[in-house]
Chain A
Amino acid sequence: MQERLRILKASAEAAISAAENAETLTEIRHQYLGKKGELTLILKELGSLDPEERKQIGKAANEVKQAITDILALREETLVGEGSCIQGAIDLTLPGLPPVSGGLHPVTQMCYDLNDAFLSLGFEVFSEDEITSEKYGFDNLNFPPDHPARDTMDTYWLAGCEEKAGAERLCLRPHLTGASVRYLKKHGAPARFVYPGRVYRNENTDARHERAFFQYEALIVEKDFAFASGQLLMRTILEKVFGRAVDIRMRAGFFPFVEPGFEIDMKCLVCGGKGCKVCKHVGWIEVMPGGTPHPNVLRAAGLDPDVWSGFYINIGLDRLVMMRYGVDDVRLFHSGDLRFLSQFR
């Protein structure tokens, strides 16, 4: 009996040390310690032995059982420490599995970036309908009655209002500025708000020109707002958008709804103002028009221009996105082509 136990222990030890994985160890455990295991069988035979021998063999068998259990645990620990979850080889250079991929339109992304910047400065977000009237698209904004933009050659008028004028003549909005009067009429002054959206011009399209494009306009109306403060506002916004300090300059520009009006240039981020292909060797890139609301616009909004002043900026969203990513054809934005859109995920 003692001899059987000795052999059993030796063979178990050999099997355990040869085992290379947890499954084998479990098999070994079954083989020796399981319900029908070899050691269990020996223990069952104890009943047939005389009491003295039973005591001796019993003790010895339990010692063997303990020893096997111990080396099993030891071996298992070793195997866990040394082992890998991966069976066989793994190619670590295989590409990762991408997360479920969708995306916002790049113009929306830019718009939201700007929203975040303006919201942090306490601006509200406003929007008006895309179809507006001549009154809100032009009259309120100090466009003279004969301004060329009012022609059918420039603006998409709706069929059926050819003979009408003012509030009754409808068009797809040619710019966002009309929304500013709507907001001010509703909420009064002081006010600071942005109103991004799509605008429409009747023109021939090419890589730089579109009939439908996106603008982002902001207006701040305060008492006696000096235009030099507007300058600071623009710089702050551009810094937030581009994530670094941006030099800007304002120069003379003409737009009916502002007085004074500016063209706002940004020092070229590619060459730092030295002149390169991106800025056409000028060192500056025209980013937006802006200016102080024209007194007639404030009057249209029910505000006294002697009291109230402010600052408009109008950002061409498509242009900004094109600059950000180097997109060379503005028509791609409305193409719906996923080969283009999926690049901005």
Chain B
Amino acid sequence: MKVSLNWLRQYVELPGSLTIDQLCHDLTMRTVEVEGAESPAKALEGIAAGVITGIQPHPQADMLRVCQVDVGMPEPAVIVCGGSNVRIGMTVAVALPGARVRWHGEGEPVVIKPTKLRGVKSGGMICAASEMELDGLFPEGGEHEILDLSDFPAKPGDPVALVLGLDDIVLEIDNKSLTNRPDLWGHYGIARELSAIYACPLKPLPAFVRPNGLPEYPVSILSTQRCRRYAGLVYEGLDNALSPYWLRLALWTAGVRPISSLVDITNYTMLAVGQPTHGFDRNSVRREIIVRNARSGEQLTLLDGQTLKLTPEDLVICDTEEPVALAGIMGGQRDSILEDTGEMLLEIANFEPIGIRRSAGRFQIRTESAIRNEKGLDPQRVDLAMTVADGLIRKLYPEAKLTAFTDRYPVRAEELKIHVKPDWLSTRLGRELGLQQISGLLTPLGFDIMRESDGLSVTVPSWRATGDIKYQDDILEEVARMIGYDQFDFIPPAVLLTGAVSQPRVLLERRIREYLSFQCGMQEVFTYPWVSRKYIAAAGIQPENCLQLATPPSPDTACLRPSLVPGLLATAALNMKYFDDFSIYEMTQVFAQGSTHPSEAGESLPLQRKFLAAGFVGADPRTLFRTAKGVLECLPRAVMAEPLSFEQRDKPDWADQKAWLNILLSGEVIGSLGIVARKTARAADMKRGQMALFEINADMILPLPSRSNKFESLPLYPLVEQDFSVTLDESVSWERITALIQGYVKSIGFIEEYRGKQIPEGKKSIMFRVRFGSEAGTMTAAQIDEKMRSIIKKLGSLGGEVRR
């Protein structure tokens, strides 16, 4: 919202020493965020008033003329000008070298330099309104016309910005910081805050004098829920023309385009007190005003030309026959103020905000009126608006008459009183406050304070009783912000030492991440909880089993992930474009149908489990599989959790036919590990490389207070290390070899596996290393030989042929 400082000054006399920076700071700290403050005069620097003293034709161009212009300097400026309306004696705006203008009102501003135009020197530019970006302020004027300032009191050389009264400051206020303060959506509301901040008086607006003995204009409110007040004022003897300059300037400065006097009056009223109003052409409105819900199928063509198909959700203003305006949002084209309107029906009404917001949202119409009405305005504000609008009409049209008047206000809002305990206020503020101080802070904001036996009774002004202020805590906020949040000392909180924080599950989660990232060299990623159908399908998940979003980011991403696999496939496919070898993981919640009650029985949430998934991309699937398995095998010890085991029970859809395992904890499947199947990789557009993947329900991993292994004494005598290479049937697994030998040796370690030329078909060669020793002494060669023979014999029982 744009706020003009000159406009504010009509309502409040600010301290003379106050700087703009200070004002912005104070308003930001106490009330609303001021995003910027700029003078409209700034853009016109270097542009001066000039009087044309001579005009000659341009020797080379019919459309151009060479003008002598008195710009207050000893010599007149010679300027080539193409304006069709240029004449001797005319006061014009001259952009002198160094000033910035927009060529023909378009593009970025350019700096004026002395130049030659078709061979004639030109020391500046005589500007059209659009070239100074003032076309909003001067809506009349043809395409080739320069701005005529002859009606303004200006001496040659005067800065045009001053001549036009642009020596103002426009504050840009962040609309978001205003959402809860409907009272601030006009200059008067901001002025009230300033008057409270600087303890300077706010000028009261004169009360609207209710006319006596005037006929009523027929107004019926059929939906009193949605229209809380409706005032209709009929004025005759008007003439809808260009507004006087001061009115146009006021609107233009506040960012609203001047249109015509009657429209400008409604807009000025809104910008002054924040109350939207609407002007109807009295003679277009048939007989009466009815405020009601629209009927299904009714249509309304708005001022901007679009035709709406209405529903009973929409509130409309109707005449006898049909809707003439979308209530509180925008007027209809047929009945709103027309170019030749001479009699106006002025609507000043209060609407219930939710309906306004819904209609505006449904039709995607964001008017200044809708923005204000949807905040929830106080119905009493209609009185202020009547004062301002009536005053303007009398000022602009002294001959005009108010000929009919209606003010329907079926349910008056009750006065809101809040009981406040001063002790409570002092404790929560962290400082002692007396009644005098509290009163001094709140009264300027319109609060009325009365002492009661056990505290204070604070009457909330109508413009704050719109939901904004309800409790004593709201009063505390008013007091605190008026003192200034920066005026409070930092008070250390009283600390209660209540035992150390111990949260094993929180720690476990962090350990898992740190283990994967720092010990396993993996990169953590985050993906969205909604996943594209392509990857859902690639992972072999049925979309109908997924929870769905009602309004997803895109039609393709309605499914909420029941697994982290689709996101991981997508992420892997993306990164395969740039990298050959990488590993990634994600640990977060996944969603499934179900029913849980984390906080109360009345609330049923779906099943939400924290999963951990990891992907390993590279060239060799066997290595990838073993890498993934290794990460899982070492995880429990590293993160201090119950150990995991592996078994083939139930193949996940995404896994390769051969290379997969389920991950088990205490005999229960809690996840799967495998190579990504070829069909999955193809469906996920994984173009290069292979991928191993595991997914595990991290909620099932049980944290232990420490690592689970026991200390083993160091061997007293040296261990013997021996390598074996044994040729075995493919069907003999490593697990069987270890099971067989384990009891005889201290340790057994896999070295490598070999298939190839030297090995017959259907066989493999396995190389491994064993360590053994004796508790009694260093083993002798004979003892070692005997041990080796017994191991070889055992391997023989597996059909193994040992090569040493």
**B and A form one assembly:** yes
A104 near B550: Cβ-Cβ < 8 Å: no
Kindly state whether residue B496 has any CB partner on chain A within 8 Å: yes
Q: Smallest CB–CB gap between A197 and chain B, Å?
A: 9
Contacts of B588 in A (CB 8 A): 130, 198
B473 near A129: Cβ-Cβ < 8 Å: no
Q: Smallest CB–CB gap between A193 and chain B, Å?
A: 9
> A151 CA to B578 CA in the complex, in Å?
41
B501 near A119: Cβ-Cβ < 8 Å: yes
Kindly state whether residue A328 has any CB partner on chain B within 8 Å: no
Contacts of A115 in B (CB 8 A): 510
| Chain A residue nearest in CB terms to B525 | A336
Kindly state whether residue A172 has any CB partner on chain B within 8 Å: yes
> A107 CA to B525 CA in the complex, in Å?
10
Kindly state whether residue B480 has any CB partner on chain A within 8 Å: yes
Kindly state whether residue A250 has any CB partner on chain B within 8 Å: yes
A153 near B361: Cβ-Cβ < 8 Å: yes
Q: Which of B198-206, B280-288, B315-323, B597-605 makes up part of the contact surface?
A: B597-605
B549 near A157: Cβ-Cβ < 8 Å: yes
A144 near B513: Cβ-Cβ < 8 Å: no
Q: Smallest CB–CB gap between B618 and chain A, Å?
A: 14
Q: Smallest CB–CB gap between B340 and chain A, Å?
A: 40
**Chain B 100-118 against A: per-residue CB contact (8 Å), 1 yes, 0 no?**
0000000000000000000
Contacts of B357 in A (CB 8 A): 146, 148
Contacts of B429 in A (CB 8 A): 226-228
Contacts of B501 in A (CB 8 A): 119, 122-124
Kindly state whether residue B427 has any CB partner on chain A within 8 Å: yes
Contacts of B526 in A (CB 8 A): 105, 107, 198, 333-334, 336
| Chain A residue nearest in CB terms to B479 | A260
> A278 CA to B571 CA in the complex, in Å?
32
B524 near A341: Cβ-Cβ < 8 Å: yes
B589 near A129: Cβ-Cβ < 8 Å: yes
B503 near A225: Cβ-Cβ < 8 Å: no
> A62 CA to B579 CA in the complex, in Å?
69
Q: Smallest CB–CB gap between B576 and chain A, Å?
A: 10
Kindly state whether residue A314 has any CB partner on chain B within 8 Å: no
Contacts of B498 in A (CB 8 A): 122
Those of B631-661 within 8 Å (CB) of chain A: none
Q: Smallest CB–CB gap between A192 and chain B, Å?
A: 9
Q: Which of B25-33, B156-164, B237-245, B781-789 makes up part of the contact surface?
A: B25-33
Instruction: Tally chain B residues at the interface, Cβ within 8 Å.
Output: 92
Kindly state whether residue A222 has any CB partner on chain B within 8 Å: yes
> A158 CA to B593 CA in the complex, in Å?
12
Kindly state whether residue B269 has any CB partner on chain A within 8 Å: no
> A57 CA to B696 CA in the complex, in Å?
83
Given A136-B603, A226-B427, decide whether A336 and B527 contact each other with a Cβ distance below 8 A: yes
Contacts of A130 in B (CB 8 A): 529, 588-589, 591, 608
A259 near B473: Cβ-Cβ < 8 Å: yes
Q: Which of A72-80, A88-96, A231-239 makes up part of the contact surface?
A: A231-239
| Chain B residue nearest in CB terms to A128 | B598
Kindly state whether residue A242 has any CB partner on chain B within 8 Å: no
B578 near A224: Cβ-Cβ < 8 Å: no
Kindly state whether residue B98 has any CB partner on chain A within 8 Å: no
Kindly state whether residue B518 has any CB partner on chain A within 8 Å: yes
> A136 CA to B558 CA in the complex, in Å?
23
Kindly state whether residue A51 has any CB partner on chain B within 8 Å: no
Kindly state whether residue A58 has any CB partner on chain B within 8 Å: no
B430 near A342: Cβ-Cβ < 8 Å: no
| Chain A residue nearest in CB terms to B181 | A254
B467 near A249: Cβ-Cβ < 8 Å: no
Kindly state whether residue B354 has any CB partner on chain A within 8 Å: yes
A252 near B589: Cβ-Cβ < 8 Å: no
Instruction: Tally chain A residues at the interface, Cβ within 8 Å.
Output: 89
Please indicate which of the listed interface residues B489, B503, B520, B550 has the most CB atoms of chain A within 10 Å of its own CB. Answer: B550
Given A212-B529, A252-B485, decide whether A160 and B548 contact each other with a Cβ distance below 8 A: yes
Those of B1-44 within 8 Å (CB) of chain A: 28-33
Q: Which among B490, B514, B528 is the interface contact of A212 at CB below 8 angstroms?
A: B528
B471 near A295: Cβ-Cβ < 8 Å: yes
| Chain A residue nearest in CB terms to B468 | A254
**Chain A 112-148 against B: per-residue CB contact (8 Å), 1 yes, 0 no?**
1001000100111100111111011000000010101
Kindly state whether residue B403 has any CB partner on chain A within 8 Å: no
> A122 CA to B181 CA in the complex, in Å?
37
> A170 CA to B550 CA in the complex, in Å?
10
Please indicate which of the listed interface residues A254, A260, A305 has the most CB atoms of chain B within 10 Å of its own CB. Answer: A260
Kindly state whether residue A267 has any CB partner on chain B within 8 Å: no
B31 near A104: Cβ-Cβ < 8 Å: no
> A71 CA to B608 CA in the complex, in Å?
79
Contacts of A333 in B (CB 8 A): 526
B603 near A135: Cβ-Cβ < 8 Å: yes
Kindly state whether residue B606 has any CB partner on chain A within 8 Å: yes
Q: Which among A228, A251, A253, A337 is the interface contact of B491 at CB below 8 angstroms?
A: A228
Kindly state whether residue A182 has any CB partner on chain B within 8 Å: yes
Those of A163-180 within 8 Å (CB) of chain B: 167-168, 170, 172
**Chain B 570-607 against A: per-residue CB contact (8 Å), 1 yes, 0 no?**
11001100110011100011010000101110111110
> A228 CA to B579 CA in the complex, in Å?
52
Contacts of B301 in A (CB 8 A): none
Those of B270-328 within 8 Å (CB) of chain A: none
A260 near B476: Cβ-Cβ < 8 Å: yes
**Chain B 475-499 against A: per-residue CB contact (8 Å), 1 yes, 0 no?**
0110011000110111111111110
A235 near B485: Cβ-Cβ < 8 Å: no
**Chain A 325-343 against B: per-residue CB contact (8 Å), 1 yes, 0 no?**
0000000011111110110
A222 near B494: Cβ-Cβ < 8 Å: yes
Contacts of A312 in B (CB 8 A): none
Contacts of A345 in B (CB 8 A): 523
A254 near B179: Cβ-Cβ < 8 Å: yes
B177 near A253: Cβ-Cβ < 8 Å: yes
| Chain B residue nearest in CB terms to A162 | B550
Given A167-B603, A252-B485, decide whether A159 and B548 contact each other with a Cβ distance below 8 A: yes
B428 near A227: Cβ-Cβ < 8 Å: yes
Contacts of B608 in A (CB 8 A): 129-131
Q: Smallest CB–CB gap between B177 and chain A, Å?
A: 7
Known: A160-B548, A232-B492. 12 other contacts (CB 8 A): A129-B589, A132-B605, A136-B599, A146-B354, A158-B547, A167-B602, A172-B560, A225-B428, A226-B428, A259-B471, A336-B571, A342-B523
**Could you pull out 11 A-B pairs where Cβ atoms are within 8 angstroms?**
A159-B547, A167-B600, A224-B427, A229-B491, A229-B492, A252-B177, A261-B477, A336-B525, A338-B582, A339-B578, A342-B523
Q: Which 5 A-B pairs have the closest CB atoms?
A: A260-B477, A226-B430, A336-B571, A100-B521, A146-B354
State the A residues within 8 Å of B (CB): 100-105, 107-108, 112, 115, 119, 122-125, 128-133, 135-136, 144, 146, 148, 151-153, 156-162, 167-168, 170, 172, 181-182, 185-186, 190, 198, 200, 202, 211-212, 220, 222, 224-229, 231-233, 235, 249-254, 259-263, 292, 294-295, 305-306, 309, 333-339, 341-342, 345
State the B residues within 8 Å of A (CB): 28-33, 177, 179-181, 353-354, 357, 361, 424, 427-430, 467, 471, 473-474, 476-477, 480-481, 485-486, 488-498, 501, 503, 506, 510, 513-514, 516-529, 547-553, 558, 560, 567, 570-571, 574-575, 578-579, 582-584, 588-589, 591, 596, 598-600, 602-606, 608
